[in-house]
Structure 1
Amino acid sequence: MIEPKPFVKWFDRKFDTNIDIVQFEDVLSRMEHFPAVLNQLLETYPKKITTIKTGAKWSVNENVGHLILLEDLWRRRFQDIKDGKPDMSPADLNNTATDQASFNEQVLNELTKSLSDERAKTIVLLKGISKEDLLKKSTHPRLNQPMNIVDFMYFVAGHDEHHMAAMRSIIENLEHLPIADF
């Protein structure tokens, strides 16, 4: 029997900040295709499933909404690095905007469309990055470690995958419950 990997809290994760800039295209592809992969995973689930909260954890809709809200921060941080700022823009570590946004009142396919639209803006920004900009670094405020553009892209792609794993876990746990009319 294969044991599942333990779910590591996002704030407990460590990140390699020595990603070779030659990996730019590979990491860009991961980021670019993420909304489509997520949509494919979620497209068949009804609102009854995607809006259920388990304990204090976010629902599927809230996870997607959180990803939408962060795209603006990601773009600001990429721009911070490109502009040579010593520190990246800070995040709201309490995720207040996500908690207050009422994502469970929204339709999931509209949320995934919005995520796709926001990510497309981020991809356009990244495709405009010069080779010189790839060498610049700014310090990530929470991790207190310098990152270049590719390091931070890797961070964002990891954040995407973290939330996809969380959503898969929610769905798998709910599918085993005797909730009528899935």
Structure 2
Amino acid sequence: MLKRPSHEDYPEYYRGYVGLVPEGDFVSIIEEQQKVMKDLISSISDIQANHRYAPGKWSLKEVFGHIIDTERIMSYRLLRFARGDQTPLAGFNENFFVENAGFDKLSMTDLLEEYMSVRQSTLALVRGLPEESWVRKGIANEKVTSTTALAYIIAGHELHHLNIMKERYLGQ
């Protein structure tokens, strides 16, 4: 069972994300997240998904696309670090990614399909890693991070944005 990473295993700015992840079996947690996200996204129309709660804020589609992009990037980092790669990895500008993604032109069905593929890939990676991979560390965005922390960051990042989607976009 994957243990929660210590604060020394990741940069401080990820503490909020890691702290959102409940205790329990990590794979079960992200499998359940996938079900929750699928149910939520399936209930949102494309018209609702184009909503911006304030001028200059991302649309709900863009928030969802950002979740997908971030998981893809963090999962890639997790793979590299788990395999022992010590090559420092660059950071990314989330706003630049969203601006250039065209998420608002995609349907929620298309975005959900992409999300499901990315999450299934993350699940396959996490399930298949040998135990010794979970203590390995690497450098991303000039900060040392462990593979375990990256897994928790993926889960916590999604929970963070799921809460924003519910509160600011859907009034839940």
User: TM-score by structure 1 length?
Assistant: 0.73
Secondary structure of the residue that 2:25 maps to in structure 1? helix
1:140: how far off? Answer: 4.1
Residue 130 of structure 1 corresponds to which residue in structure 2? 130
1:33–1:89 distance in 2 versus 1, CA, 3 Å: farther
The superposition leaves residues 29-61 of structure 1 with CA deviations (integer Å, 9 ceiling, x where unpaired) of 222332321121232222221111222211111
Residue 37 of structure 2 corresponds to which residue in structure 1? 38
Task: Give unpaired runs (5+ residues) of structure 2.
Answer: 1-10
Is the counterpart of residue 171 in structure 1 residue 135 in structure 2?
no
Aligned residues: CA RMSD = 2.8
Distance 2:76 2:128 in 1: 14
Residue 62 of structure 1 corresponds to which residue in structure 2? 62
Is the counterpart of residue 80 in structure 1 residue 44 in structure 2?
no
Equivalent runs, 1:100-139 vs 2, <5 Å: 100-139=100-139
Secondary structure of the residue that 1:15 maps to in structure 2? helix
Secondary structure of the residue that 2:139 maps to in structure 1? strand
Paired positions, count: 157
Q: Radius of gyration: which is bigger?
A: 1
1:63: how far off? Answer: 1.1
Distance 2:64 2:70 in 1: 10
Is the counterpart of residue 158 in structure 1 residue 151 in structure 2?
no
Distance 1:100 1:48 in 2: 21
Is the counterpart of residue 28 in structure 1 residue 30 in structure 2?
no
Is the counterpart of residue 49 in structure 1 residue 48 in structure 2?
yes
1:164: how far off? Answer: 0.6
Secondary structure of the residue that 1:95 maps to in structure 2? helix
